[in-house]
């Protein structure tokens, strides 16, 4: 019992970050930088892109869509300004101030799921303005180059893509990182027939994000449920997932939950687009969660 408690309790580190652990995987959140997830490690192997690759765009963040509502850079009060942080039982809860540019605040709740070998992140958007706002949740996770894939589906509402993916058996979409193809940043837009997006890191870790499935017509204008962004120069890849766009009434909140799983891959498993063994690894990770919930 003591081991389970030690794994699930968030721990404040000397640098001001918080660490959560789940079955050997460590997740670190920095409340001083937008409550961003700045590290996701198994042993010494890091899943997320780090500041040495890009001083501003690293780790995993959360935005409101559409981007046309704010352009670039992201809203400072929500993306990179300090959040207030508290530990509530097994959860780390981080609360932003209201961003003056939009009248929104974000709340991020992180929980380790050791029985499922993963983490749950609940994002909450609150509208502080006197009028409704139309918006959608948008998680942006930056990783080094590797192999990204998801269960693709055709949808006439998907915007055109500049970043090409490979379609293989059963419609699965695969993107194998090629730095030479990213002199200029490019984006892929897609739809998943099931709610997950996976990535294999250069150090052979499988990272799976699971979320509620939505169609392209449900997304904010100019976006799609799944987006892959290859940064200029191939500095990093963004794994982006969107929730449904809603009209958020004054004082109302919109919740969006994502679950993350990290697994080491077998040493002899071939890392190539279309490999059914990679799909079985994802299915195993997600099936573990389904089995635990059924018990």
Q: What is the pLDDT of residue 2?
A: 33
Q: Is residue 248 a contact partner of residue 128, using CB atoms and an 8 Å limit?
A: no
Instruction: Quote the pLDDT of residue 287.
Output: 81
Tokens of 222: 């100019």
Q: Name the β-bridge partners of 256.
A: 123
What pLDDT score was predicted for residue 115? 83
The DSSP output letter for 98 is P
Tokens found for residue 37? 């997830």
The residue whose two tokens read 């909140």 is: 253
Q: What pLDDT, on the 0 to 100 scale, is given for residue 73?
A: 97
Pairwise CA distance, residues 60 & 36, whole Å? 6
Instruction: Give me the pLDDT at residue 7, please.
Output: 58
Q: The CATH number of the domain where 218 resides is what?
A: 2.70.98.10
Q: Rounded to an integer, what distance in angstroms lies between the CA atom of residue 193 and that of residue 21?
A: 30
Chain-centre distance for alpha carbon 3 = 28
pLDDT at res. 295: 41
Tens of pLDDT, residue by residue, the chain (295 residues): 333 344 568 999 999 999 999 999 999 999 999 999 999 999 999 999 999 999 999 999 999 999 999 999 999 999 999 999 999 999 999 999 999 999 999 999 999 999 888 999 999 999 999 999 999 999 999 999 999 999 999 999 999 999 999 998 789 999 999 999 999 999 999 999 999 999 999 999 999 999 999 999 999 999 999 999 999 999 999 999 999 999 999 999 999 999 999 999 999 999 999 999 999 999 999 985 554 444 4
Are the CB atoms for 155 and 189 separated by under 8 Å?
A: no
What domain range includes position 134?
A: 2-294
Kindly give, in sequence order, each residue whose CB lies less than 8 Å from that of residue 278, ignoring residues fewer than 6 positions away: 147, 149, 198, 200, 206, 265, 269, 271
Alpha-carbon distance of 57 to 55, in angstroms, equals: 6
Let me know how long the chain is: 295
Q: Tokens representing 51? A: 């500041």
Residue among 129, 144, 270, 119 nearest 208 (CA): 119
Overall domain count for the chain:
1
Question: How far, in Å, CA of 51 to CA of 235, rounded?
Answer: 11
Radius of gyration of the chain (CA): 18
Rounded to whole angstroms, the Cα distance separating 235 from 182 reads 9
DSSP string, 145-170: SSEEEE-EE--TTPPP-SS--EE-GG
Beta pairing partners, 149: 174, 198
Pairing mode of beta strands 196-200, 186-192: unpaired
The predicted pLDDT at position 116 comes to 83
Tokens of residue 186, six digits: 């490019």
- Asked whether 77 and 99 are in contact (CB, 8 A), the reply is yes
- For the chain, the helix, strand and coil percentages under 3-state DSSP, each to the nearest 5: 15, 45, 40
**What pLDDT is attached to residue 78?**
98
């Amino acid at each position: 019992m003591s081991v389970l408690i030690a794994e699930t309790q968030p721990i404040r580190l000397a640098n001001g970050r918080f660490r959560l652990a789940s079955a050997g995987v460590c997740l670190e959140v920095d409340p001083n930088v937008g409550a961003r997830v700045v590290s996701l490690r198994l042993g010494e192997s890091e899943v997320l892109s780090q500041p040495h690759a890009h001083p501003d765009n690293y780790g995993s963040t959360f935005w409101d869509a559409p981007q046309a509502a704010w352009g670039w850079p992201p809203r400072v009060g929500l993306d990179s300004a300090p959040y207030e942080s508290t530990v509530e039982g097994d959860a780390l809860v981080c609360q932003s101030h209201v961003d003056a540019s939009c009248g929104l605040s974000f709340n991020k709740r992180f929980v380790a799921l050791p029985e499922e070998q993963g983490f749950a992140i609940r994002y909450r958007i609150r509208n502080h303005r006197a009028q409704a706002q139309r918006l959608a949740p948008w998680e942006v996770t930056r990783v080094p180059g590797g192999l990204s894939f998801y269960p693709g589906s055709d949808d006439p509402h998907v915007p055109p893509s500049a970043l090409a993916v490979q379609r293989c058996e059963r419609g699965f979409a695969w993107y194998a990182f090629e730095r030479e193809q990213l002199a200029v940043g490019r984006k892929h837009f897609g739809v998943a027939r099931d709610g997950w997006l996976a990535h294999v890191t250069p150090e052979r870790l499988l990272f799976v994000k699971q979320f509620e499935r939505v169609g392209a017509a449900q997304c904010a204008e100019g976006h799609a449920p799944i987006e892959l962004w290859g940064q200029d120069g191939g500095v990093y890849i963004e794994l982006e997932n969107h929730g449904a766009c809603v009209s958020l009434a004054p004082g109302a909140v919109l919740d969006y939950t994502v679950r993350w799983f990290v697994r080491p891959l077998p040493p002899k498993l071939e890392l190539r687009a279309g490999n059914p063994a990679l799909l079985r690894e994802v299915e195993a990770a997600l099936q573990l969660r389904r089995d635990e919930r059924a018990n």
